[in-house]
Chains A and B, each alone.
Chain A
Amino acid sequence: MTRFAALAACLVFASTVHADDLASGFDDPALNQRYWSLIREIRCPLCQNESIADSSAPVAADLRREVRRMLAEGKSDDDIKDFLSSRYSDFVLYRPRVAPETYALWGGPIVLLIVGALVFWRVVRKRASQPLGEDDAS
């Protein structure tokens, strides 16, 4: 029911996003760019599968406000992500951190690539050593 209400709220307010506070970015272009790349990378904990830049949920507006506040205070991007994930868990980070529990996530594709390359190499070598025309016989 809550989820339904949240979804309904997302739909109802979908067209009015950007109306509340998003216009108030930063005058400094560098800071403004960091603000936008941060809020596009932080997932709204309520309207899920939207970043807080896209979401019109009240909590997303609050989180944008906090991000702006911390940027204005000169906090680093990592400080800001730590602040948010210590409250809303790593769930809010669209780009998972490299940590022991995400090694498989980050390393998996590399391991698979190496395994694939080894298999490929073995097959190619095996076939290279076979006389022509016997490829399909084995």
Chain B
Amino acid sequence: MLRYAIPLVLLALLGCLFYAGLSLRKKVDPSYVPSALLGRPMPEFELPTLADASARIGSRDIVGKVALVNVWGTWCVECRHEHAFLLRLAKSGMPVFGLNLKDDRPTAQRWLETLGNPYVTSAFDEDGRVALDWGVTAAPETFLIGRDGTILFKHISPLTGQVWQHDFLPLIRAQCGATEPGCPQLAPLTP
């Protein structure tokens, strides 16, 4: 009896292992890359702004409030899809900082003039050196920064209403109420 039971039990255990490995993995997505930076302070940086090569923007300007850092570029098709949603977010009161990646300054400035500018400020990361410190693989990527400057969440690919409701808003609400300093007072998103 036992000589049949042992292989069966082993088979069942292996089945459980494979089931867990194949189906319970976060996002069920084999291409999901965990971010090494979640829960860690955002990497320090200082860069010229997109609008003005002599002005500077850096991590020090972001610390102290709940904010988004959105990596974008005019060469990035998906960023164009995402742009309308970023505008709605900014209008609802969410501070969005831009990290313009490997772009041409006049082209990027024109993009914001024609499509609208959702960013508090955009940093101009010409050679992608800062993006590398942030573990950016490609645009668009969006980081949620907590009040103390830690990275709370990272979303790869365009930000959508669904992702915003499901992943970002709960984390923002857990961080703070609307009345505390550094907390965004979010109006409902306009359609």
Contact = CB atoms under 8 A, between A and B. Distances in A.
Contacts of B36: 85-90
The size bracket of the interface on B is: 20 to 34
Which secondary structure dominates where chain B touches chain A? Answer: loop
B137 A1 contact: no
Interface residues of A, number: 21
Interface stretch (A11-19, A28-36, A55-63, A124-132): A55-63
A79 interface: no
A24 B116 CA distance: 41
A6 B138 contact: yes
Given A57-B138, A91-B34, A62 B128 contact: yes
Contacts of B132: 59, 62-63, 66, 87
Which secondary structure dominates where chain A touches chain B? Answer: helix
Interface in B27-59: 31, 33-37
Query: Which of B36, B131, B133, B156 has the most chain A CB atoms inside 10 A of its CB?
Result: B36
A5 B136 CA distance: 16
B33 A88 contact: yes
A39 interface: no
Contacts of B138: 2, 6, 46, 57-59
B135 interface: yes
Contacts of B137: 45-46, 57, 59, 88
Interface in B125-173: 128, 131-138, 156-158
Interface string B70-81: 000000011000
Contact of A2 (B34, B102, B136, B158): B158
A2 B33 contact: no
Nearest to B131: A62
Given A2-B78, A45-B137, A58 B157 contact: no
Contact of A91 (B33, B102, B133, B157): B33
A87 B133 contact: yes
Interface of B: 31, 33-37, 77-78, 102, 128, 131-138, 156-158
21 contacts: A1-B78, A1-B157, A3-B157, A5-B78, A45-B33, A46-B138, A48-B33, A57-B138, A58-B128, A59-B132, A59-B138, A63-B132, A86-B36, A87-B133, A89-B33, A89-B34, A89-B35, A89-B135, A90-B36, A91-B33, A91-B34
